[in-house]
Structures are given as structure tokens and as C-alpha cells.
Structure 1
Amino acid sequence: MEINLGDFHFLRPLWLLLLPFGALLPWLWRRSRDVQRRLRSNIAEHLLPHLLITPQDQQRLRPVHLVCALLMLGAIATAGPTWEQDRPPFLENRAPLIIAIDLSPSMDANDVPPSRLEAAKHKLHDLIQRRAGARNALIAYAGSAHLVLPPTDHPALLDSFIQALSTDLIGKPGKAVGPVIEQAKRLLAAEKTPGTLLLITDGADTTQLDSLDQSLSDGALQVLILAVGSEDGGIIHDANGQPRTDSDGRPALGSFDQAALKQLASALDAPLGSLTLNDDDLDWVEMHAQQHFQSASDEQRELHWKDAGYWLCWPLLLIAFFAVRKGWSLNWMAGLLLALGLGFGPAPAEANALTDAFFTRDQQGRWAFEHEHYPQAAALFVDPYWKGIAAYNAADFDLALASFARLDTAQAYFYLGNIHVRRFKFDEAIAAYTRALKLQPQFPEATANLALAIALQKDTESAEQNTPEVKPDEIKMDKAPGKGQSKTVQTEQATSDELWLQNLSTSPAKFLKQKFSLQDQAGGKP
């Protein structure tokens, strides 16, 4: 292995302060055994050599020398010697992508069959399927920009909202790219990672280009523009499939504004591509997204160095074995008292003597959690937040509720809201999401779930009001007593957020239209 000594340094250099102390140990030991030095103040110095009989020590290697070596090597190992940069595990993941799709009326033009919007939705379906495991977010925009879904790695959940998009969901006309970029920057700030914004549109508002120059100054966000449509344009249809007409009663035509898109790409320094019939456009998007993610991450790698101190564990172990020799002894009283103190600690309910000797309950719970043994992790964790997370993933919502209720953090209230929504307690869910947003205003997931809880509460109240009242004496039996049969109907429990969301009574399109309308009325605020 080639070592660049120019990059050699220590991650925790303060531990090197133990080196002088370790080097002084043999000298201190010899000084403590020097009888002549102790008697020099009581007996004349020229008489001491004749009055003392000092046996010659035949052993040059003493326990103190091994302790010195252990202490010095241990100090170097703990200080973290390093000379090689490390690539954090999360950099192996695929680049996060924020998809922003234009829902202005021109996207209903049929120059790309069946329409520009439907062709874009079909292309996005293929994109998220090939990006399985990566995190994708969805933004819809026209004259205003709205977050549809925060970053998620569930393709089916994202696709269900993509297929529900239509041009009648946003009432404010226009093609406002500025608010889209602001939304994307907030999402990446919450993700704490560089990412790419994919704009899928057929035009741009050139009057807003001057305000976009400074939007991407930090370099964390890259913009890609995927143009949809042909230059000749096509007929624009309404939501019912009927051709829209202009003021003269003629069919309205949509045009692919190539010049405006080139100006937008120039203002944002963004690559410009177009929708294709094959997968070339998908390869283009993934290539640019991954290249930006790698380059932006490499700029932050100076803080990530590979700790090479563990290589010194082998010589340390070898020295420790050599220290076990007959007739050698050290004063281990301090270590013995520490071991006894640890031994009198409270014993856990489920104890594994070997595991508990080396790992705390939280460390054992983390191992079980990372291996997806969620019930075991929930039983092991002591930390209330991690116990709640494990119980939530194990569908033990009673334990999760009790754990999160002990905390006063935005994340805890977010999960409390999720649990209440699962149990159709919308008032408690709304209160929990509101508290989470009060503690952490920039919380896209809590914002989206709060809007969903409000919509579900309104739909539930509307359904209860419209339910016909049936009096008891109006119920008639269609069979004689004893002839009927009772049968237990097994229903599949929603084991994931994806299945749970699919079982909701509110359609994604209805929910999104109501959400966008409320946000526009509030001045664009979530």
C-alpha cells in the first residue's frame, strides 16, 4: 500500500500527550528502586557503595517496559493516525433527485401523444422504477410551486401521486421557476446532501430570469431541464379531454418554446435535454445527476479520513500476551475496582453475559435495528427515541406511542402524528404535526402529513354527515333465525406507509387540488 506522508496526520492528536508519560515510566520505576538515592541524605555518599549490597538484575525486560510500550502504542492508535481519505458509505448511494413538473395548460397539447403531460408522466414512471432505492421528491408548479412529496425511496408511492397530476390542480397561471428552486433548496438543506432538480416543462417565463442568477450560488443544487413537446405545438385539451378554444372560438394551440428554454438554461447554467422515445433521456438525467452528486461530495471529503489506528491492535495484543508471565505483577487495584463497580450495575431483563460485557443495550439495539430485527431492537433500546423508532417499524404502536410521548422533539411529534392518523385520531394527529412544525419550521414531511390529516378529517366528517340514518325497527332479516351464516373476513393489514396510503379514502388528485388551493390562498406558504 502506497502511503503519502504529506497527508499523514492524526485525527485525535490530544491523545499523543500520553507519549511523554509512557516514555517516563521506566525512568520513574528505576528512580523508585534506587536505594542509594533515598539514603543519600542520611549516609555519607562515599560510604554508600560499601554499605549496600545491590544484587544485579539479570532481567532486562520488566513489566514496566511492556506497560510503557502498551501505553505509547495505545496512545498512537487512539490518536487516529491517517494518511488516506475515506469515502463515507452514504456516498455509494445514488444521487437524490427532485422532480418538478410543469402543470400549466400548455402541457395538455397533443403534439406528443397522447399529451405532453401524459408523456412526461409515462417517462417519470420509467425513471423512478430504474432509480429504485434512491430518494426522489416531487414538486408541481405553474404560477406557483407546491411540494407534492418530500424525498422518498418508495417508487409506488411516488408513482401514485405522479399519475394523479393534471393541469387543473393549480389555479394560478404561469411558469414560476424561482419558487421551484427555493423549494428544492429547502429540501436539500433538510437532506444535508447535494442533489439535482429536474425541470420537466415546455417553456419558461423569460421575465423572471434576472432573479434566478444568484439562486444556485452555493453549488449544492444542480438543475436539469427536460423539454417536452415539438416546435410546431399541438391542440390543448381540458381535463375532460375536450379541445380548449381561444377568444375567437378556434382550438387553442400550445407551442414548444425552445428559445425561452435556452434562455432559462443559460440563466441557470443548466444542461438542456428533450424527451425521447427511447431511454436516452433517462440515461442523460441519471448521468448528470450522479456526476454532480459525486463532484459535490468530493469537495466535502477533506473531513473524511480513514482511521488506520486499528492496525496497531495486533502489536498491542501481542505485547499483552507477553506480559502474562510467571512472577510478573503490576498494581491492578484501580482496574479491579472499576470492574467490580461495573459488575454491580442493574442486570437487564434479557441478559447475555458475553454481549452485555462488551456492548450497551443501545448498541445491541442498534445492531438489531440495522439488521431489521425491529421487535428485538425495541426490547433492547433504552433511548426513548430509538425505542420508539424500532417499535414503530415493528408495528407495535402502543410501545411507540409511549416512547415518543416522553420526548419533546419535532421528530417525536412527527411520529406521534403518524400513529394517530393510522388510528384515525385526526385531531390528535393535527396537534402533533403542528407541534412538530413549531419546533422545526422547515420540516417538509410534517407539512405534507399535516395537510393530509386535515384533508382526511374533512372527508371523514363529510362521510359521517352524508350517511343515511337507519332506525332499528327498519332492519329486516332476509333469512329465518338460525339459517344465516357468519363468516370472518380477513383483511390484509397495511404493513408499510405505502399500503396504508393506498387504503385511504381520499384520492391523491382530490387531496393535491385542495392542498394547492389552500397554499395559494395562504400566499404560497406550506
Structure 2
Amino acid sequence: MIWSKPIGILEYTLIGIFLLFYLMYFIRMILVSSKVKSNMRRSFYKFFLRSAYFGAFIIAFLGPSFGDTKKEIKTTRKDIFFVLDVSASMNSNDVLPSRIEKAQKELSNVADRLNSARIGLITFSSDANLLCPLTYDKDAFKMFLQSITKRQVGGTSNISSGMQLAMEKLSATKTKIHDVGKFVILISDGENFGADPDKLLKLFKQNKISLLTVGIGTSSGGTIPETYGPKKDKEGQEIITSLRSSELKKLASTTGGSYFETNDNRNDLNYLSERINQIEGVTTGYQKVDATANKYFYFLLFGLFLILLDVLITVKTISL
């Protein structure tokens, strides 16, 4: 028999109160019977009856489960690559404390909310790098995510390089069903100085990989901090980098995905994790597990039946 909860302080307290009150009841009955010279033996029947239904209620409260039934369950998996922009514009502080630090914080929260998923991390600027391979270890993923420092953020943005590497890694993963369960989540401010990703988007659709995009930044934008002040163009003017949400929305819609946005006034990433969790993962197999059902109601009904007997059956302890 398996219990849904162990005997704890509450149960021991209830048992102690029951025994204390019944002891007081017996002492009273003994004193009364000694004065009237009555037989107390019949009172023990009531004690055993009441102890039985009290014990039945305690067992019901503990939630007993038993049985040898087997249940077949489906094991599923989702493979998710976060593709994070680490180009120079991600150092902009139009989102506090900066776009890259905001992205690190929010992606760490998203990882915690994902169920039955292998997650990996790819970073890109002009080139892409695999920072964390697919893993179920969320702590390892977050360690790699937090290892990105401001000094490592720089260069121009080539979105295609990050998407290409993510697609190659996901396509190399062999599963029985390829229809669902493979995701690329692109986190960027939308700036792209690399190749046009149109060809890549067709390959995403062929490989049935879902592309979700996350825009980080604001439409008003901000400067790009450097060692000696904001970054400037050839004319000496400060460069303003702003969120190009239209580019990211176009990428997502082309593959049937969705666009999300995060900044100081808006955070869609809660909906992102909910969306992924609602989509069924890749079926990787079936397994049989022992399934036991909580049978507390048997003991509850038995206890109620004994209470009914206790009410209906009277015991005469004093003879006149």
C-alpha cells in the first residue's frame, strides 16, 4: 500500500486527543459504575467500535493507494535552440540595464518555465557560435547564458548565421516524428547586416522547424555605449539603434511562427513559454508504469457505516 502523505504531527495530535478524551470518558464511567455497582464490560464494545471508525477516518485522510494496474504513457520531447544576438547594438541601454542583460534575465526565466524540453544556446554577431548544446540541464544552460559579458558583445549583426547553425543542429537530431517539437527562438533587436534569410526560411519550413522571434529594444532607440562614449558614425554623429520589429515579425510570419517583444514597458515572454508548453512535443516512445489509485473513499464509507452502527446500537451499562 502506498500513502499519498505520511503520518505527521496533525495525525498524531488527533490520535492523542481521541485517546485522551476516551480515557476521561472511561474514568467517568468507572466512577459512576462503582457507585451503582454496574458491569462495565459492555462499554468496551463501544470503545472498540469507535476506535475502528476513528482509525478508518485517519487511514482515509492519509490517502491509501493500492493495486497492480499498468498504464501506458507517451514520452515526448521538445528541442529548442535560443539564438541570441550579441552584436554591438545589444549593448544599448534603451532597455535597462541594457538589451543584452535584459535578454539574459528573461531567457533564464523562460527556461525555468519550459516543460520536457531540451534547450540549447547559440550566439551570433557577424558569425555564430554554439555556446550550449541541447540539454535537459537548465542550470547548465543558465550558466552558459550568464557567462556572456559586455566585453563579448560587439560587431555587426548577421541573423542568417545564427539561424543557419540552429537549423543544422536541429536537423541532425533524429526522431520518429518531425512534425512538431523543434523550435528556434531568435532574440534580437532586428538589425541585420548579413545575407538575406529568405532561403533559410524555406529550409525551416521543409525541416518543420518552428521559428519564434523576440524583439528586444524600443522604437525610439538608444545609443551604443563604448569605452570613450557613445558610438559615432563617420560624420561624428551619435548612432541611434532602434528596435526593428517589422523585420522580426516578417521572419516569424513566413514560417508560421509568432513575434514577441520585451522592454521596460512590455514583456511577452510569459506568453512565449506558455505557447511552447501548449504545443505537443516529439513522440519518442511509450512506456508502461505502475498506476495506483487513491482508495480513501472505501475507508471513509466504512467509517461512516460504523458511526451509523454506533448511533443505532445502544449499550446498557446501568441496571435499575
**TM-score, normalised on structure 1?**
0.36
Q: Mapping of 1:164-243 within 5 angstroms? A: 164-166=147-149, 168-169=151-152, 173-177=156-160, 179-193=161-175, 194-205=181-192, 208-238=196-226, 240=227, 242-243=229-230
Q: What code does the residue aligned with 1:185 have? A: M
Distance in structure 2 (CA, Å) of the matches to 1:88 and 1:187 = 28
Tell me which protein shows more helix as a share of its residues: 1
State the match for 1:139 in structure 2.
122
| Contact 1:108 1:117 survives alignment (8 Å) | yes
Q: What code does the residue aligned with 2:162 have? A: V
Using the aligned pairs only, state the percent identity: 25
Query: Do the aligned partners of residues 146 and 87 (structure 1) sit closer, same or farther apart at CA in structure 2, a change above 3 Å counting?
Result: farther
Query: Do the aligned partners of residues 204 and 305 (structure 1) sit closer, same or farther apart at CA in structure 2, a change above 3 Å counting?
Result: same
Distance in structure 1 (CA, Å) of the matches to 2:144 and 2:228 = 20
State the match for 1:244 in structure 2.
231
CA offsets 1:189-208 (integer angstroms, 9 cap, x no match): 44435321110001143860
Q: What code does the residue aligned with 2:222 have? A: G
Task: Measure how far apart 1:305 and its partner are.
Answer: 8.4
Q: Which runs of 5+ in 2 are unaligned?
A: 1-70, 176-180, 289-320
Distance in structure 2 (CA, Å) of the matches to 1:158 and 1:198 = 15
CA offsets 1:60-81 (integer angstroms, 9 cap, x no match): xxxxxxxxxxxxxxxxxxxxxx
Q: What code does the residue aligned with 2:273 have? A: E
Is 1:125 the counterpart of 2:108? The answer is yes
| Contact 1:107 1:167 survives alignment (8 Å) | no
Distance in structure 1 (CA, Å) of the matches to 2:263 and 2:122 = 22
Q: Which runs of 5+ in 1 are unaligned?
A: 1-85, 308-526
State the match for 2:241 in structure 1.
254
Task: Measure how far apart 1:242 and its partner are.
Answer: 4.1
User: What is the aligned-residue RMSD (CA, Å)?
Assistant: 3.2
| Contact 1:97 1:135 survives alignment (8 Å) | yes
Is 1:116 the counterpart of 2:99? The answer is yes
Query: Do the aligned partners of residues 126 and 143 (structure 1) sit closer, same or farther apart at CA in structure 2, a change above 3 Å counting?
Result: same
Task: Measure how far apart 1:170 and its partner are.
Answer: 6.9
Tell me which protein shows more strand as a share of its residues: 2
SS in 2 for 1:185: helix
Query: Do the aligned partners of residues 247 and 276 (structure 1) sit closer, same or farther apart at CA in structure 2, a change above 3 Å counting?
Result: closer
State the match for 1:106 in structure 2.
89
SS in 2 for 1:136: strand
Task: Measure how far apart 1:248 and its partner are.
Answer: 3.1
The alignment covers a number of residue pairs equal to 212
SS in 1 for 2:156: coil
Distance in structure 1 (CA, Å) of the matches to 2:215 and 2:93 = 14
CA offsets 1:17-68 (integer angstroms, 9 cap, x no match): xxxxxxxxxxxxxxxxxxxxxxxxxxxxxxxxxxxxxxxxxxxxxxxxxxxx
| Contact 1:184 1:197 survives alignment (8 Å) | yes
| Contact 1:104 1:173 survives alignment (8 Å) | yes
Task: Measure how far apart 1:102 and its partner are.
Answer: 0.4
Is 1:272 the counterpart of 2:259? The answer is yes
Query: Do the aligned partners of residues 306 and 110 (structure 1) sit closer, same or farther apart at CA in structure 2, a change above 3 Å counting?
Result: closer
Query: Do the aligned partners of residues 116 and 232 (structure 1) sit closer, same or farther apart at CA in structure 2, a change above 3 Å counting?
Result: same
Query: Do the aligned partners of residues 269 and 157 (structure 1) sit closer, same or farther apart at CA in structure 2, a change above 3 Å counting?
Result: same
SS in 2 for 1:217: helix
Query: Do the aligned partners of residues 145 and 292 (structure 1) sit closer, same or farther apart at CA in structure 2, a change above 3 Å counting?
Result: farther
| Contact 2:73 2:286 survives alignment (8 Å) | no
Distance in structure 2 (CA, Å) of the matches to 1:305 and 1:118 = 41
SS in 1 for 2:203: coil
| Contact 1:227 1:275 survives alignment (8 Å) | yes
Distance in structure 1 (CA, Å) of the matches to 2:88 and 2:197 = 21
State the match for 2:299 in structure 1.
none
Task: Measure how far apart 1:280 and its partner are.
Answer: 5.6
State the match for 2:75 in structure 1.
90
| Contact 1:204 1:264 survives alignment (8 Å) | no
| Contact 1:204 1:261 survives alignment (8 Å) | no
**TM-score, normalised on structure 2?**
0.57
